[in-house]
Amino acid sequence: MQEENLVILRALKQNIEELAPPIEAAQQEIYGGDQEGLQNGLDLIMSDLTMMVVMLTNIDGHLAPTELELINDIRHVVYGHGIRELTADDYMELFREFLNLYPNKRLTLDHAPSSIRLLQTYDEEHDTNLAKKAISLFIQFGEAIVKANKKEDYGEAMLLENFKEILNSI
């Protein structure tokens, strides 16, 4: 784990852990007693973050080793070191996971992740501002991913800026 990422990863972990229970509560409020359709809040936000990475890094069709390392680092910080590491071979599997999460969406960054939409619902019901906190988390992690391979990728930066505009318009 790179030292420069350690501070950001610890902050992300704290925010993710804080946001997971309200995500679960929002699902409960929306879907009621249908436990089968509910997702673990931690898993949902981590899946959304991972899918954002897939979308940002797909512009060049390549997941740089430093980008993959950062993805695995956040997974280790949140889930612990017992979790299986993702490899470059898992990249296509991540696309399949995205399609499972968003079956009616195209593979674009033109909509808010499910976790943020759920937090918006929670905020409305509980007079909180957790969706904005999640938006900051997504932007912070997106910026870290775009900078991870230490070379400027105009396409990734442009996609991130577009995604930030969408998130900030919420």
**pLDDT class for 15, splitting at 50, 70, 90?**
very high
DSSP letter string, 115-149: HHHHHHHHHHHHT--HHHHHHHHHHHHHHHHHHHT
What is the pLDDT at residue 2? 65
102-126: pLDDT as tens digits: 666 544 566 788 899 999 999 999 9
Q: Report yes or no: 156 and 57 within 8 Å, Cβ to Cβ.
A: yes
Domain ranges of the chain: 3-168
| Pairwise pLDDT comparison (54 vs 141), residue with the higher score | 141
Going by pLDDT thresholds of 50, 70 and 90, the confidence category of residue 164 is very high
> End-to-end alpha-carbon separation of the chain, Å?
33
Rounded to 5 degrees, φ, ψ at 110 are: -105, 20
Q: What's the mean per-residue pLDDT of the chain?
A: 83
Q: What contacts 120, CB < 8 A, 6 or more positions away?
A: 112, 131, 170
pLDDT of 110 reads 67
What is residue 155's predicted lDDT score, i.e. its pLDDT? 83
pLDDT digits (tens, 9 = 90+) for 33-91: 667 778 899 989 988 888 888 778 766 666 788 888 888 888 888 888 888 888 877 77
Check residue 31 and give its pLDDT: 84
